[in-house]
Structure 1
């Protein structure tokens, strides 16, 4: 009898103990350290190239223009990962050679160091010490190809890398598949009167007149009522190896725009591409305005470029 009571008591005690464990409050999680980033700014852990075969062959270089000095992004000195960096007082005469890398989809659509939005399909770059925004001519020393980029971000802060180009700029220089390249970086500065210098030497963009002479020529042509013969600027919505998806994108764009939309087929070293383009536009401001409208309508991968008719 006593043994039976003992067994019953042990069973009841075990049940009560288990019930108590089940109802016990869960310990509060340990608070994250102060300064922990909860914003999930970058949804992609590792950077990567965009999907598909992005055609950069028709992409225009950045066009250097004069801009008064600004404070945004130009704090000197600044510290990243315990290392201190200084920003140049002026970009005039800057020339350096070193390793270029590129950045793409992880940072696409996020803010650069001076508050602009990074677009991996545009000709832009990040540099540790050049004043921003600024411009630079970057030459791939392995193939002698050059591009002009707008410097609007800080970095790269990995190893001894000199400059980080957008994915589009890296592809135009031909090193996107390798990840890095040996390059020469030369600053481009523009004075208030429009005169331009690369690495401190007078400079005019390829195929264009120096700024002051071009302005007087344009005024003379306007007085005569002449129309420029150039192909103008286009907003390119996509480039496809097949004609059918290009035609579908063209029809979609026509439903939201009153501007002309064309499919232009071109032969490149990578094969035949069918480019969907809106335009032409006579100035960059008009092209950018239409590009912003298109982005608001869901056309998220457009680029502004020059193209012949």
Structure 2
């Protein structure tokens, strides 16, 4: 790890459960370099994910746009995976590292990441062992010089020498889908909140925030919930479709009511609700 940071210290054990799924018979095949994500407690397999049978053209996908975002409540505590303690860098200001990047895709598409968001393999995101969530990093493929900017919202990869686990879209843009891994350089992009952002947070003014409540495969159920929630909460609720998934969202919600609304949603059973802007 980069010399800017002290060695990781033994910490209280906390296993993060992130986007686990029932393995298919193909996924249950024994391989020398694979682990079982179910028994390991999350999205931590070392087996390389497979690309879709028909690879989509993702040239239109844009880099993540770095911005100031408060760290999420979920996924930012020190944790333990397979007996190894990991420290979350709460106050990191600068960070660079080099090593192997890997990627993950269809097996975990639609499941929750370590900070409670829904993993979308077609967006520019990534997993890192130590950076606070969310963070933004620039990733450079040292074999071909291609660069991307991704938003880190997950934990991993837990494999010797690998420094970042990229979404399918990010791996596509870096030209590393076929090789599975690539030597990369990663650089943290850290932005402080602007004076205007601080003022808006204090006054509750601005354009408001949108909360994503869940993603399900039933469009009918998602629309039924949207109608019900709009009446109960007094804010507009909508359904967005991404492939086979229907995302239930609410907002915009005024800044002075966002936290209270999120807390109420969590208490009402939407435990994975989170702000998407």
TM bucket normalised to smaller: 0.5 to 0.7
In structure 1, the residue matched to 2:55 is 53
Would you say the 8 A contact 1:109–1:118 is kept in 2? Answer: yes
Unaligned residue ranges in structure 1 (runs of 5+): 1-36, 196-288, 302-309
After superposition, residues 135-150 of structure 1 pair within 5 angstroms as 135-150=136-151
The superposition leaves residues 209-256 of structure 1 with CA deviations (integer Å, 9 ceiling, x where unpaired) of xxxxxxxxxxxxxxxxxxxxxxxxxxxxxxxxxxxxxxxxxxxxxxxx
In structure 1, the residue matched to 2:189 is 188
Aligned length: 168
In structure 1, the residue matched to 2:176 is 175
User: How far did 1:61 drift?
Assistant: 0.4
In structure 2, the residue matched to 1:63 is 65
* Structure 2 CA distance for partners of 1:194 and 1:172, relative to 1, 3 Å: farther
Would you say the 8 A contact 1:91–1:187 is kept in 2? Answer: no
| 1:121 lines up with 2:101 in the alignment | no
Match of 2:77 among 75, 78, 86: 75
After superposition, residues 200-239 of structure 1 pair within 5 angstroms as none
In structure 2, the residue matched to 1:294 is 241
The superposition leaves residues 30-70 of structure 1 with CA deviations (integer Å, 9 ceiling, x where unpaired) of xxxxxxx9x98234426321221211211100112211233
The 1-side partners of 2:92 and 2:177 are apart by: 27
Task: For residue 241 of structure 2, give the secondary structure of its aligned residue in structure 1.
Answer: helix
User: How far did 1:72 drift?
Assistant: 1.2
Task: For residue 144 of structure 2, give the secondary structure of its aligned residue in structure 1.
Answer: coil
Task: Identify the structure with the greater helix proportion.
Answer: 1
Larger C-alpha radius of gyration, 1 or 2?
1
TM-score normalised per structure 2: 0.56
Judge which range, 53-62 or 109-118, deviates more. Answer: 53-62
The superposition leaves residues 254-299 of structure 1 with CA deviations (integer Å, 9 ceiling, x where unpaired) of xxxxxxxxxxxxxxxxxxxxxxxxxxxxxxxxxxx98x5234xx65
The 2-side partners of 1:164 and 1:91 are apart by: 20
| 1:134 lines up with 2:135 in the alignment | yes
TM-score normalised per structure 1: 0.50
Task: For residue 106 of structure 1, give the secondary structure of its aligned residue in structure 2.
Answer: helix
* Structure 2 CA distance for partners of 1:146 and 1:40, relative to 1, 3 Å: closer
